[in-house]
Amino acid sequence: MPTPEFRNHGNGQGPNRKPLSVYCADDSIDIIILSFVHLFPRQANGYPGIDFGNQCYAERLPGPGYQGKATPSNNRLLKCPNLQRDLYTCRQTSTKKILLSLGGRTGSYQLTGASDGSSFATQLWCMFGPRQNAWVQRSFPRPFDYNDIGFSVDGFDLDVEHPSTDASAGYKALVTKLRSLYATVPGTFYLTASPQCIVPDANMKDMLTATTFDMIFIQFYNYLARVADQGCSLLAFSWAVFLPECCVFGAAPVEEWGPWKRLWGPRAARRCVVVIMAGAGRPESTAVPGAKRDW
């Protein structure tokens, strides 16, 4: 099985992000993760809040309100015409898979119960999944469509970095509903997650076992001290034990960590990818061709 390469495009709100077209033109990259949907409907006046750094404008689409209450100051669905154009071009010129990530470091997002998670999944699917006439005819937004041409992401990624306030009921309902929506249309759609390397990730363990994830991007780069202390192979093995259907794979990290071990689960239904930063000037990225990440 080949080791996929991917970059997390637009992670954060920095002003110097490269356009998506740069990553799309890179033949070594198979997967692009757009980050982030950093606010959920309750926090963003009824629509998701998105932020892809300098690829979006300050102009915001007005939200419908949440549970009957409108708060226009919370509108965070940004217009991103440069990103729309590059997504369209990327889809026409490559076979790269493009995922949309939810969460991130900001602590403002939260779901409140199973009903909230399920309805959010449906909203995400209608806004960013395959174009549906009923949705468009009601003038609801499709943030990634370009010149009225539909664009669908290839799936959704969960990067939840803060504790839930509802015992993960919302997140479990979210991932379960997304998986069921995938089955309603032709084609392949992916459900992925980006937990921290600590096993299990306390913020994500319940959703990770609620349904099948296609790929798990383990954020080893956030815990280099833990990796150096416990050893890469031991942490990789711990993930394989926690998710026994995983195959964990990577390449050789910095020399003092020793070689990675390849661990195949009994059915290998999931791919657990060891994620290491590979930016210029970062020594920890040495010789990790299978774990690229733009930071």
**What are the structural domain ranges in the chain?**
6-213
Classified as helix, coil or strand, 232 is: helix
The predicted structure's pLDDT at residue 255: 31
DSSP state of 264: E
**Mean pLDDT confidence for 275-295:** 40
CATH domain 6-213 topology: TIM Barrel (3.20.20)
Instruction: Please tell me whether the peptide bond between 242 and the residue prior to it is cis, using omega within 30 degrees of 0.
Output: no
pTM: 0.83
Lowest mean pLDDT among 55-69, 171-185, 189-203, 236-250: 236-250
Q: What is the pLDDT of residues 104-158, one digit of tens each?
A: 989 899 999 999 999 999 999 999 999 999 999 999 999 999 999 999 999 999 9
Burial class (CB in 10 A: 0-12, 13-18, 19+), 238: middle
The predicted structure's pLDDT at residue 244: 64
Does the structure show a pLDDT above 70 at 2? no
Q: What is the pLDDT of residues 32-81, one digit of tens each?
A: 999 999 999 999 999 999 988 888 988 999 999 999 999 999 999 999 99
Q: Which residue has the higher pLDDT, 169 or 277?
A: 169
Q: How confident is the model at residue 214 (pLDDT cuts 50, 70, 90)?
A: confident
Task: Write down the residue that tokens 């990440």 correspond to.
Answer: 293
Q: How confident is the model at residue 16 (pLDDT cuts 50, 70, 90)?
A: confident
State how beta strands 97-104 and 246-249 pair. unpaired
Among residues 5, 59, 161, 245, which one is catalytic? 161
What whole-number distance in Å separates Cα of residue 41 and Cα of residue 174?
Answer: 13
Does the structure show a pLDDT above 90 at 90? yes
161 annotated active-site: yes
